[in-house]
Structure 1
Amino acid sequence: MAFEKTWRWFGFQKDELTLSDLKQMGIEGVVTALHHIPNGEVWPVAEIMKVKKAIEAQGMRWSVVESLPVSEGIKTKSADWPRLINNYKESLTNLGQCGIDTVCYNFMPVLDWVRTDLHYKLPSGGEVMYFDFPTFVAFDAYVLKRPGAEDDYPAAIVAKARERFKSMTPAEAEKLAYNIIVVTQGFIDGAVDGSTPDYKKVFLELIDTYKAIDRDRLRQHLKDFLTEVIPVAEANGVRLAIHPDDPPFPVLGLPRIVSTKEDLEWITQQVDSISNGITFCTGSLSVRSSDKLVDMIHSFGHRIHFLHLRNNQLLPDGCFHEYGHIHGVVDMYEVMKALLEEQQRRIKEGRSDTRMPVRPDHGIKLLDDYSRQANPGYPLVGRLKGLAELTGLEMGIEQMLKREQ
């Protein structure tokens, strides 16, 4: 049995591809969300069913919700927390009643993911996304001018950041800030709307809401969230799958609590339920080379509900750039083998969640992608290439495992 082949689709209004396009591509499961519903509001059954029926009319299934956003008020446990939690639980109930069984979410403060260059050229001529640590620190300390930013990073990186900033023109500094705060976040329910005149000021105010929240307190807020929502998810046949931090280390003086193997083990232990699970993102987790991805699969593979597979090239000073799917720091052969062995265990145990949806996460912009409009990291041809590579690798390992039995 192979993994369910899925594709992230941004909806009728926000995605250039149609559902019939996805069907032609051989996609089995669609990964999408109700992007038109404001963060913190209830997802109504009627709106869920509208999307679900459109997907099923093309012979596919709504495989994963990515994502049902966790509002900043839940992460900070603001005065609005009770309403936001109740709305989240109602949305989970509605999704379960509609037969949607997997929900990917994250608990990253303020920023969902971070890159400093959205058009980094590979030697091949293709484009990927790049995280340059000194450039990011230059943004934080000298463009955003967050108070105390220089104290939150290694002195050597701060020194390089200072020189990096001195070499920027005002236009380059503004573009860097806009890309980090708005462009990378706008299509995934970002915290700051691009129409806000002084978006940097709003961004700083959001960061300031975390000034009394350290790692331990944010962990407690996540535990409180899980304690409330996991029983509701379990009762309605829904599996929650938390996405790792991207990148998996602190930025902007904000705590990161979903970055390491120890973090993921802690999360799965807080509520002992199969509904309290993980999105296994090799792209995010591989940035910390000290953590072994195969070891993670062996440790808590039974809680992995969704697979994001892609690769990185790691560079000095904490920098990295994306690098397609099967080449890079991730040993995708060993990762795929461990995941297929986990799938076999589930089949033998008679579990219902054996399909293990997988999507090619991000991709190299190439060929016809340059004539298309797409969200950062989501080119058509580059992702199709990745899906083909991953599928071929998967089929080869499957045959090998069958012959070993």
Structure 2
Amino acid sequence: MRQTWRWFGPKDLVSIDAMRQAGVEGVVSALHHVPTGVVWTPDDIAERQRQIGTMQDGSSSGLTWDVVESLPVSEDIKKQKGDWRDHIANWKTSMHHLRDAGVEVICYNFMPVLDWTRTDLSWRRPTGATCMRFDFTDFAAFDIHILERPGAAEDFPEAIVDAAARRFAEMSGDERAQLAGNVVFGLPGAAENFTLEDVRRHLAEYDNIREETLRGHLVDFLSEVTPLAEELGLRLCCHPDDPPFPLLGLPRIMSTEADYAAIMQAVDLPANGITLCTGSLGARADNDAPGMMRRMGERVHFLHLRNVTLDTPEEPRGSFFEDEHLAGQTDMVEMISAVLDEERRRKAAGRADWQIPMRPDHGQDILDDLGRKAQPGYPAIGRLKGLAELRGIMTALNHPRGMAGA
């Protein structure tokens, strides 16, 4: 696995120097300052590459921009409204510019309105570390009592509706505002920060868009961009829904292995691939990330390795928190074993992309992270700890003695 690190650009409080000291081999980044739907220009791409390649003292970092995360897919494309055709054309132009610059892997998602959703961005653990959490009751309190979405109460179990009413009544005005801000925080570094009115407006535009319709729109999008990706030698990889179950009455179409299988079959080209995120998929107990890697590994172009612990693993949806990388829902030893097996298979087959880029996704804030207040979910030391743990598993499984005993 090629060890990479997500960087949000010059405003990121975790520096290029810190990444270099962590021993990563490549960088995952995006042009967060460019509005969604607008072409990424060669000059902007080159400037981001220059920033990644330069340490604070002006010397070369030796790092390259390996993966785009994300080249955003506009709401217009997802809904097939407004300027969606122009946005697809611009996406394709950006693909050309990225390939000309030597970037070959493009991660994206097809989640309506919001990207990942959490109710707490700094939930305290018994160790004193903090992490991100999705609390189902808090989310219901937001949906029913703060957003006041019509029919919201019908989307939750009766016990959760009752608990949410009590939770909301106990919250102060500041706590309600904080919860709302956390839920609509969206993707860190994104060009768009939604207000509650923005969310209500977007939700209204999805009133007549059900899962099959949204899935059809994704297939239409991929039918446009994937042949070009094949021609250019690019690899596209869709990130799963986070969390992988319906929220806010919106359709979710990339939550399970069956969802991915349907999209891979609908646009059956090698460039149409998967961002296998063990944390997002792991928020459903019925998802089997290591098994998915073994069954669909030939289409996995990018890996996010993180872990979550579920409060109620017997339920199809519920509360969870971002656990340490070797704790939680996913057996990370089995996961990495499956990845290494796939890489050996690819290498034996002569695939140029035999090495799959991986990044230690998210992480708990520990030590100096607690005062640094970097992007939620992206601490320096917490990710470094996770990377060290993952690197240890990789090294052990790749060791001749370890391989002989497997």
Q: Which of 24, 29, 46 lines up with 1:32 in the alignment?
A: 29
Secondary structure at the aligned position of 2:368 is classed as helix
Greater mean deviation of Cα atoms: 364-373 or 82-91 = 364-373
Deviation at 1:161, TM superposition (A): 1.3
1:160-195: CA deviation from partner (whole Å, max 9, x where unpaired): 21221111122211111112113x445233452xxx
Deviation at 1:139, TM superposition (A): 0.1
For residues 197 and 31 of structure 2, what CA distance do their matches in structure 1 show? 28
1:333-364: CA deviation from partner (whole Å, max 9, x where unpaired): 11110111001000000001112111110001
For residues 393 and 77 of structure 1, what CA distance do their matches in structure 2 show? 44
Q: Give matches, 1:254-273, under 5 Å.
A: 254-273=250-269
Deviation at 1:131, TM superposition (A): 0.6
Alignment correspondent of 2:345? 345
Q: Give matches, 1:181-192, under 5 Å.
A: 181-182=184-185, 184-185=186-187, 187-190=189-192, 192=194
Percent identity of the aligned residues?
Answer: 47
Alignment correspondent of 2:377? 377
Alignment correspondent of 1:43? 40
Q: Give yes or no for contact 1:48–1:95 (8 Å, CA) kept in 2.
A: yes
Q: Give matches, 1:231-246, under 5 Å.
A: 231-246=227-242
For residues 29 and 381 of structure 1, what CA distance do their matches in structure 2 show? 18
- Alignment length (residue pairs): 395
List 4+ stretches of structure 1 deviating above 4 A. Answer: none
Normalized against structure 2, the TM-score is what?
0.94
Q: Give matches, 1:83-102, under 5 Å.
A: 83-102=86-105
Alignment correspondent of 2:56? none
Instruction: Specify every segment of 5 or more residues in structure 2 that has no aligned partner in the other structure, as ranges.
Output: 54-59
Q: Give yes or no for contact 1:69–1:189 (8 Å, CA) kept in 2.
A: no
Alignment correspondent of 1:195? none
Letter in 2 for 1:298: R
Alignment correspondent of 1:403? 404
Q: Give yes or no for contact 1:111–1:190 (8 Å, CA) kept in 2.
A: no
Alignment correspondent of 1:292? 288
Deviation at 1:256, TM superposition (A): 0.5
Aligned pair in 2 of structure 1 residues 208, 266: CA closer, same or farther (>3 Å)?
same
Deviation at 1:274, TM superposition (A): 1.2
Deviation at 1:67, TM superposition (A): 0.5
Deviation at 1:232, TM superposition (A): 1.3
Letter in 1 for 2:15: T
Normalized against structure 1, the TM-score is what?
0.94
Q: Give matches, 1:217-232, under 5 Å.
A: 217-232=213-228
Q: Give matches, 1:74-89, under 5 Å.
A: 74-89=77-92
Matched, 1:20 2:20: no
Aligned pair in 2 of structure 1 residues 279, 115: CA closer, same or farther (>3 Å)?
same
Letter in 1 for 2:383: R
Aligned pair in 2 of structure 1 residues 254, 191: CA closer, same or farther (>3 Å)?
farther
Q: Give yes or no for contact 2:7–2:28 (8 Å, CA) kept in 1.
A: yes
Letter in 1 for 2:215: R
Aligned pair in 2 of structure 1 residues 401, 263: CA closer, same or farther (>3 Å)?
farther
1:60-115: CA deviation from partner (whole Å, max 9, x where unpaired): 12110001000100001113111011001111111111110001100000010111
Greater mean deviation of Cα atoms: 82-91 or 164-173 = 164-173
For residues 20 and 124 of structure 1, what CA distance do their matches in structure 2 show? 28
Letter in 2 for 1:28: E
Deviation at 1:159, TM superposition (A): 1.8
Root-mean-square deviation over aligned CA pairs: 1.4
Alignment correspondent of 1:354? 354
